[in-house]
Structure 1
Amino acid sequence: MQAEDWDARYAERQQWSGEPNPLVAALVADLPPGDAVDLAAGEGRHALWLARRGWRATAVDFSATGLARGQAQPDADRVTWVTADVTTWTAPPASLDLVLVAYLHLPDPPMTDLLRRAVGWLRPGGRFLLLGHDAENVTAGVGGPQDPAILHSTRRLAPVAGLLAVDRLEQVRRETPAGTALDTLLWGRRPA
């Protein structure tokens, strides 16, 4: 989908809950606040949640309409909002304590290229969190994109995981009103 497609989608209605994904919240809740980027932030639910917890959060998305929804929320002034294509946007090397990529789905090589660059934005010890629809979700789960070429798997994320001290690289289950969805989780830190 292009930025215009997402603008139209966001203009139609709110897309997701204003609350963070429960797994994202559980993994990040006990981290000391620092500098974070939420890539493909959409309406900014994760960036807003991080900012409320004391993080200096940047929300990056190519949909100006989605970001505008986030900017209309309480505490929006605590977030830096950037309208940009995440595949070309960049942060200074070793400038972040957290890179969050939640439900961004791109084909390769752009996806792997972006994720490798994003690891370089982390300070030593900085955390990397990717959560997205798993390729097996198409046949064994519910919802999400139906193109396996853009979906995650532990195998597909292995080149990025090799750059991190990995805490978790696995398929996880997510309960939804429509049934169980399958996601892929990569949670690790940049080595010192």
Structure 2
Amino acid sequence: MSDTTTDAREFWETFYTERDRIWSGEPNPLLVREAADLAPGRALDLGCGEGGDAIWLAARGWQVTAVDISATALARTAEHAAQAGVGERIVTAEHDLRHSFPDGAFDLVSAQFFHSPVGDTERLPVLRRAAEAVASGGVLLIAGHAGWPSFVEGDHEHSHVHLPSTDEVLAGLDLPEQRWRVEAAEEVEREVTWPDGRTGTRADNIVRLRRLD
């Protein structure tokens, strides 16, 4: 196991074990907006966290492979899926996606806010590998932050972090136009509430691509 894998796994294990629950359990709104019209098939949820997206997909008839680097996050995904009555539709898999990747082809590959303070410079190669996992006629869905919340913009603590635009994501993927169709590439602004109660707005990016071959 490489040092980078150890560091990333330790970071995310610490992140998830600090509290009994981190996320709301609700699916990401951009996933709901972009995937609600898709016919269910096989889905790959990259960085599944505690399973909110995977459970939403499974409830709509998808067979989901839910991937995370944190064993604690995956255990919570399995527990929450069983509680929601969709446990039989979700398979969890532990991967550091920089070094290993699930086998198979998927009708939907979803990377929702696939950012990390550890190894984020390797995000693009992971997304390129994600594109390879999309089945013919399937969809690659990438959501990412376009900026910091309005109430922390200009904070020097975050000034070194680069959040790529949709154009940068598409250029970095460098997918052949004859094999892929861009179905969405836009910036969306939403209201957010920080854990300490501060409220404001935040811009997110969404890229939806369909494989044609």
Which category of TM-score, normalised to the shorter sequence, fits these structures? 0.7 to 0.9
Q: Which of these residues, 71, 78, 85, is aligned with residue 71 of structure 1?
A: 78
How far apart, CA to CA, are the structure 2 residues paired with 1:157 and 1:141?
25
How far apart, CA to CA, are the structure 2 residues paired with 1:157 and 1:38?
18
How far apart, CA to CA, are the structure 1 residues paired with 2:109 and 2:151?
27
How far apart, CA to CA, are the structure 2 residues paired with 1:139 and 1:31?
30
Runs of 4+ in 1 over 6 A off after TM superposition: none
| Structure-1-length-normalised TM-score | 0.86
* 1:5 and 2:11 aligned: yes
Structure 1: runs of 5 or more not aligned: none
> Is the 1:127–1:190 contact (alpha carbons within 8 Å) kept by the matching residues of 2?
yes
Match of residue 88 from structure 1: 99
How far apart, CA to CA, are the structure 2 residues paired with 1:96 and 1:131?
18
How far apart, CA to CA, are the structure 2 residues paired with 1:151 and 1:157?
10
> Is the 1:141–1:182 contact (alpha carbons within 8 Å) kept by the matching residues of 2?
no
Match of residue 209 from structure 2: 188
Change (3 A) 1:11 1:133: same
> Is the 2:58–2:64 contact (alpha carbons within 8 Å) kept by the matching residues of 1?
yes
How far apart, CA to CA, are the structure 1 residues paired with 2:25 and 2:206?
21
Q: Which amino acid aligns with 1:174?
A: R
Match of residue 116 from structure 1: 128
1:27-51: per-residue Cα shift (whole Å, max 9, x none)? 1112111011000111111111111
> Is the 1:142–1:180 contact (alpha carbons within 8 Å) kept by the matching residues of 2?
no
Q: How many residues align?
A: 187
Q: Which of these residues, 34, 41, 44, is aligned with residue 51 of structure 2?
A: 44
| Structure-2-length-normalised TM-score | 0.79
| 1:77 to partner: Cα distance | 3.5
> Is the 2:149–2:192 contact (alpha carbons within 8 Å) kept by the matching residues of 1?
no
Identity rate, percent: 37
Q: Which amino acid aligns with 2:191?
A: E
| 1:157 to partner: Cα distance | 0.3
Match of residue 151 from structure 1: 163
Larger radius of gyration: 2
SS at match of 1:15: coil
Match of residue 196 from structure 2: none
SS at match of 2:158: coil
| 1:139 to partner: Cα distance | 7.5
| 1:58 to partner: Cα distance | 0.5
How far apart, CA to CA, are the structure 2 residues paired with 1:118 and 1:56?
17
Match of residue 104 from structure 1: 114
Change (3 A) 1:155 1:15: same
* 1:132 and 2:153 aligned: no
> Is the 1:70–1:76 contact (alpha carbons within 8 Å) kept by the matching residues of 2?
no
SS at match of 1:183: strand
1:101-157: per-residue Cα shift (whole Å, max 9, x none)? 01111533x2221111111111111001111111xx1375759x9365452312320
Q: Which amino acid aligns with 2:113?
A: Y
How far apart, CA to CA, are the structure 1 residues paired with 2:87 and 2:162?
31
The CA RMSD measured in Å over matched residues stands at: 2.3
Structure 2: runs of 5 or more not aligned: 1-6, 194-198
SS at match of 1:88: coil
